[in-house]
Structures are given as C-alpha cells and as structure tokens.
C-alpha cells in the first residue's frame, strides 16, 4: 500500500513541496495579498465548539438528503480546473476517489478530461460546474452536454464572471502546458473583443456586455433541463435574488480567496444568507475548510453541506486517487469525532448552540430587503 501522510496538514506540506512552484501557486495560493484566503481560515478557527458529554451516540451517522439524493456525509468535492496538473489521471482519479468515499464530485467546466470519461471513472461525479458562456445559446449548449453525460445538478459560478469568460483562473505568470485545456468547451464560441478606443475601459466597454445578469440566471433556471445552484453568493440580498430567480440552492463562497482579495470570509456571511433564505432552498458553503471540525462549524451555522477543494487537490497531488480518497476519509472521520465530542448523533443535532462564534458571525443583514 502506498505510504501516505497521516494528517490533513501533512498533505498540504507534502503537496507544496512536490509540485512545481507555478502549479502549487495556481492551486494553493489566493489573490493579491491573500487577505481573503487567510480570513477564510481565521474566521473558521475563531468559532469554538462546545463539548456536550454523556450523550447517547448509538446509531449515529452523517447521512443527509440533498437535491433528492441521499448522501453518506456532507463533504462534497468542489470544482477544480485542470486536475491533470496534479496527477496524470486528473479528474478521473478525483471522481474515483469521491465515489470510493460515497460523496459527490462537482466537475469543473474547465476540466482537462472529457466529462464522459470522468463519469465512467467515478459515477458519483454527478454535479457539473459552469461559467456563463459568450451567449445564452452557448451556455445552453454546454448545459445540454452535461445533461447528456448524465449529470444531475448544475453549479453556476457567479462570483468570477470576468475571469470566467474562458480560461478563467490562470494566474499571472502561469501558463497551461501544451496538451492541457478545457476539453469540454470545445466548439463553443470564444468572445472576440475589438481594440479599445481612446478613453474606453477594457472591462466596462468591451467585456461587460457578455457578462450575465439576474435576467440571464432566471432564464437559465427556467430553461435548463437540470436544477441550477448558484455558487459564489456572499450578500444575503443576492441569496434572496437567487431564490427569486429560481435557483435550486446557493453556495456561500468567495472563490477560495482567488478573485476579490478583501472580500469577507464565507463562514462570516453564512449565517446571514441562511437567515435570508429561511429554508426556501438548501445553503451550502465553500471556502477555508481544512479539517473535519470546520465542516461541523459550517453545519452548526446553517450549511447543509460543504465543498472542499484545496485539501482534495493536495491529496491528488500526493497520492493520486488513493490520496484524494484518504483526504476525504480523514475529513469525514474528523467530523464524526467532532460530532461525538459535542454530543451530536446525527447532522440535525448540529445546531447553532453547539458552537460559540465571535460576535461578527451572528446573522447580519438578514432583513427582507432586496437590492
């Protein structure tokens, strides 16, 4: 059996040491001064977990139902582009790992392997992430490809519309090696922009016209053959707009601190989003989860499930499918330990009174006003 790290933190250390500097920066670093990246972690760590003792834990489990499907636990694999940079088997290895650990993987639109191949390697890769394409027609073409491949849910990333125009997340100074690219976007139109005129803005005068708005989201939710969950919601008002547009759920996320450096942490905005949505749709969270106790913290503040990216990327880089599977198993085991020590037998027992958050994490902005 392959010799793997024993802890989640060791996976990060080994992965950063093994990966080429540019690849490590692409997957593990954040934007700018990395304020948001670090805030995701520090705000999670500031939440104390209250032990409860002498509880009857017999028959406990981590099961839940989400989007009409039963899940063994609430730890999902977040969408990550170009995973062949981490391991030769890339997304296929990650899908196999998720399937081995009875969880759902979200396949990135910028995956380096065909969606059919990935789903064949791991049938629990059931959700497909996409960015808005150059037009409604192009977006629906990609949606239909995902539906035809057997995906069950669409995750529309809305917090990086500019970088998501095409090869969205390539960081400055890092270029994809030859042979690696978004294979599932082949044949879709690439936006073409005319040269700037005097005094024009590249963003507002040449790009903004193809970016999606709430009317586009409502159109997609009404016409897509699959339910649509919006990923990248932080403001409670936007969560309510998502519900009004027909979204089947929202994911509280700041893109792992990779887009707007200075944005608030995902966990700090979670209570307000949960309060605003008020049970209309499930609320998930993505951002900063590194340990099983972080999963517990997010669930206690109202998340139905969490998505993890960087820990799984590290597992994939260190040990391929086996490493990614081991990371997911460690996260689940740590969640179970946190549940047991806080007296929670099932996920429904993980209520807000099981944690002590700092004051800023109380539900803020939870009024009914919508901008």
Q: Catalytic pick from 38, 73, 209, 255?
A: 255
Answer positive or negative: Cα dihedral of 88, 86, 298, 368: negative
Return the DSSP state at 278: T
End-to-end Cα, the chain, rounded Å: 55
Is 73 one of the catalytic residues?
Answer: no
> What is the distance, to the nearest Å, from the Cα of residue 279 to the centroid of all Cα atoms in its chain?
20
Which of left, alpha, beta for 187 (phi over 0: left; psi -120 to 50: alpha)?
left
DSSP conformation letters of 96-110: HHHHHTT--BEEPTT
Q: What is d(CA 248, CA 325) in angstroms, rounded to the nearest whole number?
A: 28
Q: Which residue has the tokens 């049970």?
A: 279
Strands 153-157 and 228-233: parallel
Write out the two tokens for 24.
């490590």
Give the orientation angle of helix 35-45 with respect to helix 292-300, to 10 degrees. 80
DSSP at 307? E
CA nearest neighbour of 310 among 92, 100, 98, 8: 8
Per the CB < 8 A criterion, the answer to whether 259 and 160 are in contact is yes
> Encoding tokens for residue 33?
């001064």
CA–CA gap between residue 122 and residue 119 (Å, rounded): 5
State how far the Cα of 303 lies from the Cα of 352, in Å rounded to an integer. Answer: 11
- Contact 109/184 with Cβ under 8 angstroms? yes
Q: Which two tokens stand for residue 92?
A: 């296929």
For residue 179, give the DSSP letter. Answer: T
Q: Say which DSSP state 83 is in.
A: G
Answer for the pair 55, 345: CB distance below 8 angstroms, yes or no.
yes
Distance CA 64, CA 181 (A): 35
Question: What are the catalytic residues?
Answer: 255
């Amino acid at each position: 059996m392959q010799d793997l790290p024993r802890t989640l933190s060791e996976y990060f250390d080994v992965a950063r040491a093994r990966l080429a500097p540019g690849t490590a920066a692409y997957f593990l670093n954040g934007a700018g001064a990395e304020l948001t990246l670090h805030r995701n972690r520090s705000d999670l760590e500031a939440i104390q977990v209250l032990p409860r003792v002498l509880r009857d834990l017999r028959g406990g489990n981590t099961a839940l139902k989400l989007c009409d499907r039963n899940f063994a636990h609430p730890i999902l694999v977040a969408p990550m582009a170009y995973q062949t940079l981490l391991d030769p088997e890339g997304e296929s290895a990650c899908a196999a790992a998720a399937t081995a650990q009875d969880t759902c993987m979200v396949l990135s639109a910028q995956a380096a392997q065909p969606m059919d191949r990935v789903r064949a390697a791991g049938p629990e890769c059931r959700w497909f992430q996409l960015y808005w394409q150059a037009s409604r027609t192009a977006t629906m073409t990609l949606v239909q490809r995902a539906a035809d491949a057997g995906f069950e849910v669409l995750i529309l990333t809305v917090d990086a519309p500019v970088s998501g125009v095409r090869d969205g997340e390539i960081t400055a100074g890092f270029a994809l090696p030859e042979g690696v690219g978004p294979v599932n976007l082949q044949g879709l139109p690439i936006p073409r922009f005319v040269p700037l005129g005097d005094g024009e803005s590249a963003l507002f005068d040449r790009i903004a016209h193809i970016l999606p708005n709430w009317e586009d989201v409502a159109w997609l939710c009404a016409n897509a053959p699959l339910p649509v969950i919006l990923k990248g919601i932080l403001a409670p008002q936007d969560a309510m707009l998502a519900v009004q547009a027909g979204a089947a759920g929202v994911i509280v996320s700041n893109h792992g601190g990779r887009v707007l450096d200075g944005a608030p942490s995902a966990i700090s905005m979670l209570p307000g989003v949960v309060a605003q949505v008020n049970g209309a749709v499930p609320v998930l969270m993505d951002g900063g989860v590194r340990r099983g106790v972080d999963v517990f913290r997010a669930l206690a503040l109202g998340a139905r499930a969490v998505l993890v990216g960087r820990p799984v990327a590290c597992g994939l880089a260190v040990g391929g499918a086996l490493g990614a599977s081991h990371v997911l198993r460690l996260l689940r085991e740590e969640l179970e330990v946190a549940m047991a020590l806080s007296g929670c037998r099932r996920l429904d027992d993980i209520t807000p009174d099981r944690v002590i958050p700092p004051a800023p994490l109380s539900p803020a902005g939870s009024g009914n006003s919508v901008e």
